[in-house]
Structure 1
Amino acid sequence: MLTVFKGWMERYFADEEAVLVAVLLIVGFIVVIQLGGVLAPMITAVIIAFMMQGVVSRLKKWGVGHKTAVSLAFLILAGSMVLALVYVLPAVWKQAHNLVKETPRMLQDGQALMLLLPERYPALVSESQVNDLIGTLHTRLGDAGQVVLSFSLAQIPILLSVLIYLVLVPILVFFFLKDADLMMSWLGSLLPSKRPVMRKIWREMNQQIANYVRGKFIEIVIVAGVSAICFGVLGLKYALLLGVVVGFSVLVPYIGAAVVTIPVAAIGFFQWGWSADFFWLLFVYAVIQALDGNVLVPLLFSEAVKMHPVAIILAVLVFGGLWGLWGVFFAIPLATLVNAILNAWPTSLTNEASVVEESSELEL
């Protein structure tokens, strides 16, 4: 057993850079796990900076200076935040408040429909099963009510955190955009001068994360806007709220679309029942999801690494369980990072192959 382990260590950790990469990965993992909450504003600023870096690069291609490009990108970001805070968030909050007020009536209607099941399908559903299900739902709703109450009592610290984010994150984004090259040069000075594996991994991941963040933001905006407009045209209640929820559901591939189908269908059913409007809603929602998965995603993520759906779902479950919402958001880039590390990891076999290749070139 020791011989096998020693051979494995000599194969995968014979290179000094491999040991350094492993140490950096372990330290980074521990820091994120232990200090994720403290570093949340910094992580948020880095994500937004990746997104706005595309705007800065485009402006610089048009002949705009670096400082002017950064200032214009920051003004676009600030204007978007003001627009969301003044117009979008109040409307979404109002619709969410109205939905909470109307939830008891919707539950009563649902309970009445469930009580009809034993009469219509006595061979499949019994009255005792329906009563047990209703009791379980009441218990769950009571727990949810306590959560909402505790949330309302804890609003002051949440508001303070929001204020900190609104002030601190834009400042960090501005300096990340302005001094990105200086910061990267400083970080590079702390690492060995010869680091081909790190350079390979960084080049691949820098491009992948930038494309993913910008593409995912555009996807959220388009899906949310189209969904809200379509729901509004159909006359569905809480159209803006449901549109925003559908937009954010794209953060969780496959699973998000399936989960969001439940509230969309439920609100449509309680509003229209088994009518043509309800089936039109399901049809339009299915078309939106189909266009998102088959047209929008391939256009936005054409340069992304192709991954099997099973690998994507596994990455969402693993990284979401480790880092919550951030892990879900970065599940695909983190899976790509793992793949890039595995492909670029130096082993004794690759070192021998490189030596043979260099010797053959010298002979030629």
Structure 2
Amino acid sequence: MSELKITDTPFYQKLSYNLITLALLGALLYLGQGILVPLFFSILLATLLLPVTNRLQQWRVPKVISIIVSIIVTLAVVAGILYFLSSQVSNFLEDIDTIKKRLVDLLHKAQEWINATFNISERKQQEYIKETTNNLKDSGAGIVGQTVLTITESLAYVVFIPVYTFLMLFYKDLIKRFLINVFKNGSEEKVRTVLEESRTIGQQYVLGLLTDMVIVFALNTVGFLILGIKYAVFLALVGALMNLIPYIGMLIANVFCMLITMVSSENLSDVLWVAIILAVVQIIDNNLLIPMIVGNKVRINALVTIVGVVVGGALCGIAGMFLAIPGIAVMKVVFDHVDSLKPWGMLLGDEVSDKKKKGKKPIR
């Protein structure tokens, strides 16, 4: 990470080099997502388990056994969460016939309102729905193929992530020495600092998100149960899981929970109350839980966060949305320690908020 003497290079050339590098990295991530995404998840998991394995080794547990035990415990926790999620989904699906009937009644009322308001006859509406249904049937093979591909990728994650995690924890010292030796030209201390800050960010981000998810799930559940909302636990769990995706996830959760409440409740005011509960929990989460639990290490501004989540989703799907924030945070750490890239680190950060807190006027 040595500092290159490029001060005489025109600014537009430096900007072009940076943009080309970002484009190449994006193309590499898109083309190699099947390999890189499990690897990135393994890095996060290895970072999270590193304190556990270190503590076990301090208790004179052999290195291999300490790594295996920590991974097995993690897999058991994940399996428990998946079992709980599947049980809630199963309870929801048991009433799917009732939900379908309710949905048909709501659609009929909606058609009558459209006919009265926009003068579009119910027959024309039926023809449009039938045409849309036929188009969905024509694309059915593609949907099935995509579903099979998704299941295959999930199975690959289940196999590769534990293996990658074990190997990273086992060879962590070797990887660290390699990275330091690559930049063995006066930048060793910067590399150590970047590695340490990146590890801290990874641990703080993942632990913070998991803790935040549990608290949001509990708040959603209590609110829905007090209101007597049907499928309260299931909807609360959906809201908590979608909250892992910044900004966009909560919007999707709001729409989903309101739709399910609309078709499952006789009282339409419940839909409004569900939206209010989710909004209140989101306000508490953004202004109290996230700053307190996640802390100030992951300081990425809202614009970059939204763009990063959207780009991550476009490149790697839902996994890319989840990985976007820790990835951008690590990029900011690197940028902040390279003089020629510090403007990019400033762009990713939340300097406006920091200046407001210090009582200084923001840069205009």
TM-score, normalisation: structure 2: 0.72
Structure 1, unaligned runs of 5 or more? 14-18, 350-364
Alpha-carbon distance between aligned partners in 1 of 2:331 and 2:341, rounded to the nearest angstrom = 20
Alpha carbons 1:224, 1:243 under 8 Å: kept: yes
Q: CA deviation at 1:145?
A: 6.1
Aligned residues: 335
Gap change, CA 1:168 and 1:331, over 3 Å in 2 = closer
Q: Which has the larger radius of gyration?
A: 1
Q: Deviations over 1:75-119 (max 9, x none)?
A: 32132133235x324314424644765554343222222134358
Alignment pair present for 1:94 and 2:94: no
Alignment pair present for 1:304 and 2:300: no
Alignment pair present for 1:330 and 2:323: yes
For residue 35 of structure 2, give the secondary structure of its aligned residue in structure 1. coil
What percentage of residue pairs aligned between the two structures are identical?
19
- The code of the aligned residue for 2:275 comes to L
For residue 90 of structure 2, give the secondary structure of its aligned residue in structure 1. helix
Alpha-carbon distance between aligned partners in 2 of 1:319 and 1:294, rounded to the nearest angstrom = 25
Gap change, CA 1:218 and 1:179, over 3 Å in 2 = farther
- The code of the aligned residue for 2:81 comes to A
Gap change, CA 1:348 and 1:337, over 3 Å in 2 = closer
Residue in structure 1 matched with residue 107 of structure 2 by the alignment: 111
Alpha-carbon distance between aligned partners in 1 of 2:341 and 2:33, rounded to the nearest angstrom = 36
The CA RMSD over aligned residues, in Å, is 4.3
Alpha carbons 1:197, 1:346 under 8 Å: kept: no
Greater relative contact order: 1 or 2 (C-alpha under 8 angstroms, separation 6 or more)? Answer: 1
Alpha-carbon distance between aligned partners in 1 of 2:88 and 2:220, rounded to the nearest angstrom = 14
Gap change, CA 1:147 and 1:257, over 3 Å in 2 = farther
Gap change, CA 1:271 and 1:92, over 3 Å in 2 = closer
Alpha carbons 1:237, 1:267 under 8 Å: kept: no
Structure 2, unaligned runs of 5 or more? 1-5, 343-364
Alignment pair present for 1:253 and 2:249: no
Alpha-carbon distance between aligned partners in 1 of 2:306 and 2:264, rounded to the nearest angstrom = 33
TM-score, normalisation: structure 1: 0.72
The 5 Å alignment of 1:138-287 reads 151=143, 159=151, 161-195=153-187, 197-228=190-221, 230-231=223-224, 234-274=227-267, 277-287=270-280
Alpha-carbon distance between aligned partners in 2 of 1:164 and 1:88, rounded to the nearest angstrom = 22
Gap change, CA 1:185 and 1:142, over 3 Å in 2 = farther
Gap change, CA 1:170 and 1:140, over 3 Å in 2 = farther
For residue 291 of structure 2, give the secondary structure of its aligned residue in structure 1. helix
Alpha carbons 2:29, 2:315 under 8 Å: kept: no
The 5 Å alignment of 1:311-326 reads 311-326=304-319
The 5 Å alignment of 1:329-348 reads 329-347=322-340
Alpha-carbon distance between aligned partners in 2 of 1:83 and 1:175, rounded to the nearest angstrom = 25
Q: Deviations over 1:151-182 (max 9, x none)?
A: 55776665555444333322332332333223
Match of 2:67 among 62, 65, 70: 70
Residue in structure 2 matched with residue 84 of structure 1 by the alignment: 81
Alpha-carbon distance between aligned partners in 2 of 1:325 and 1:53, rounded to the nearest angstrom = 26
Residue in structure 2 matched with residue 48 of structure 1 by the alignment: 45
- The code of the aligned residue for 2:9 comes to G
Alpha-carbon distance between aligned partners in 1 of 2:317 and 2:129, rounded to the nearest angstrom = 26
